[in-house]
Structure 1
Amino acid sequence: MSISDRDLVIEAAEAGAAVVRSHYGTALTRFDKSGGDFATTADIESEQAILDVLRAARPDDVVMGEESGRTGTGGNGREWLVDPLCGTLNYAVRNMLVAVNVALRTGTQVVAAASADPFADEVFWTDGAGAYVRHGGVDTRLTPSAESSLVDVNLDPPFPNERVFRATRLLADQGFIERFRPRVVSTTLAVAWVAAGRRAAYLTDGHLQDSVHFAAGIALCQAAGCVVTGIDGQPLHTGAGGLVVAADEQTHTALLTLVRDQQG
């Protein structure tokens, strides 16, 4: 019997997570990339493990991997977006805040996605209809909540909208300080945490439409019922771009107001 896309995306993320766990704390070879970025042995081998799972079950699908690029013949409208280790710098300095992200896109819609936390033994997943976390073989529905007031802000470049929005300015805004508590996790695991009620919101600048880093987290938040837009409040991947994902409308509105206040 053929495996479902839902089960396949979870299996692929778990395969990558197992590799990430196995290399943790070891001497890692670094492979330099552009802009001071780099990959490690764990990134490369995690991606290969994910690709092996996907290729065995869906040989005709296109795969876009962060490290290996675009592979596959395509033609069927199905594309897997693979981020084998989100938080490489964290991982390289033996910080466990990382994620393994896998998403399936058909056309413009992500229909299945998983974001695995290799060290908490959790897989956040969605089949496009609902959003869940799997721990110890048990699936629990994700429920967003703004109760914590914790807002994760991505400080990593690029900043295409820096003239009107810069994360560092937001963190210094008195209105932000009075209402929220900033966090900087430096991995898209924090996006999944919004869907899970562990963060009130997440903000980042950037053009994210084809991002292997963000596809899974965005899909999880949408399926969980979060409010998801660009940093200017426009529909995702339009207007200025970027991402504001919030647990509820009130939090989303407050953050958009703070972002707009930066424009003077």
Structure 2
Amino acid sequence: MTNSYAGSDDAAVAIAGVRAGADVIRRMYGQRLDRIDKGAGDFATAADVEAEKTILGVIRAARPDDAVLGEEGGQQGAADTVRQWLVDPLCGTLNYAVGNMLVAVNVALRGGAAAVADPFSGEVFFTDGEAARVRRDGADDALLMPTAATRLVDVNLDPPFPAAPRFRAVDLLARPEFVGRFRPRVVSTSLALAWVAAGKRAAYVTDGGDLSGSVHFAAGIALCRAAGCTVTGIDGAPIGESGRGLVAAADVETHELLMSMMPSGS
């Protein structure tokens, strides 16, 4: 297996982190897990908590001075540190809880390396901040090659909807020009972002505020950017403090088509 470009060592840390988390997710899959209520219909399971604990152990062993923001454990270390890891140990918790294998494990160093693991396919998508690749057991790492050929577009329908009523992702599905060109999918996990980078999806659309520092989206955004995708907010602005939501498309043409379907002023 080829490791020559794993790191910047930060990429190796991200890969080790998501692989360790994925091991936990596979091991606990199918067990009867109590739900930990987080409010507003959201919840975690013991698998989320155990996977995050395991990932944090990997990061602390390799980068003891770095800060970490975890989906379950919150901020650890100084929030204003230059180096902060963003950890989403199980993206797609509801899928997982009902026995659906469409989930992801996300680890990203803010502004740097990132990795996304699909625990059940065994694929690890990663970037050192420059190129994006996929690692599969027994095979050399391969460059991610985004393409819109599938015409499949994942649309995140989960609340909140901060741009409503002007824009809600669900409204996009009712537009004739959307269904005339694309085929909507709802995976309900940010694994779909890695699929955009890998050419398995033409695009991904979600509402929201600034997602650049989100534990859910940071790793997928980093992958898409490194793979050469077009990535902006739903208003076409760069993702950041003033940005809103996310449109990640395999190419400029697909991005422009999707932006043309957004309400004016989104």
The TM-score with structure 2 as length reference comes to 0.93
For residues 239 and 92 of structure 1, the distance between their equivalents in structure 2, rounded to whole angstroms, comes to 34
For residues 184 and 258 of structure 1, the distance between their equivalents in structure 2, rounded to whole angstroms, comes to 18
Aligned to 2:148: 146
For residues 79 and 195 of structure 1, the distance between their equivalents in structure 2, rounded to whole angstroms, comes to 23
Aligned to 1:112: 113
Code of the residue aligned with 1:194 in structure 2: it is V
Q: CA deviation at 1:76?
A: 4.8
Aligned to 1:200: 202
Do structure 1's residue 31 and structure 2's residue 33 form an aligned pair?
Answer: no
Do structure 1's residue 223 and structure 2's residue 226 form an aligned pair?
Answer: yes
Aligned to 1:19: 24
For residues 189 and 232 of structure 2, the distance between their equivalents in structure 1, rounded to whole angstroms, comes to 19
In the alignment, structure 2 segments of 5+ residues that lack a partner are 1-6
- 75-84 or 226-235, larger mean C-alpha shift: 75-84
In the alignment, structure 1 segments of 5+ residues that lack a partner are none
Do structure 1's residue 186 and structure 2's residue 191 form an aligned pair?
Answer: no
Change (3 A) 1:78 1:84: same
Aligned to 2:238: 235
Q: CA deviation at 1:163?
A: 2.0
Do structure 1's residue 55 and structure 2's residue 56 form an aligned pair?
Answer: no
Q: CA deviation at 1:164?
A: 1.7
Code of the residue aligned with 1:113 in structure 2: it is A
Aligned identity (percent) is 62
Change (3 A) 1:240 1:219: closer
| 2:159 aligns with one of 148, 157, 160 | 157
2:21·2:52 contact (CA, 8 Å) conserved in 1? yes
Code of the residue aligned with 1:130 in structure 2: it is A
Aligned to 2:75: 70
1:132·1:139 contact (CA, 8 Å) conserved in 2? yes
| 1:176 aligns with one of 155, 175, 178 | 178
Code of the residue aligned with 1:197 in structure 2: it is G
2:235·2:265 contact (CA, 8 Å) conserved in 1? no
Q: CA deviation at 1:75?
A: 6.6
Alignment deviations for residues 94-151 of structure 1 (CA, whole Å, 9 cap, x no partner): 000000000001xxxx210000000000000000110001001531100000001000
Code of the residue aligned with 1:7 in structure 2: it is A
Say how many residue pairs are matched: 258
Aligned to 2:12: 7
Q: CA deviation at 1:56?
A: 0.9
For residues 154 and 79 of structure 2, the distance between their equivalents in structure 1, rounded to whole angstroms, comes to 36
Code of the residue aligned with 1:95 in structure 2: it is N
Where 2:262 maps in the other structure, the secondary structure is helix
Q: CA deviation at 1:260?
A: 2.8
Q: CA deviation at 1:195?
A: 0.2
Q: CA deviation at 1:239?
A: 4.5
2:208·2:245 contact (CA, 8 Å) conserved in 1? yes
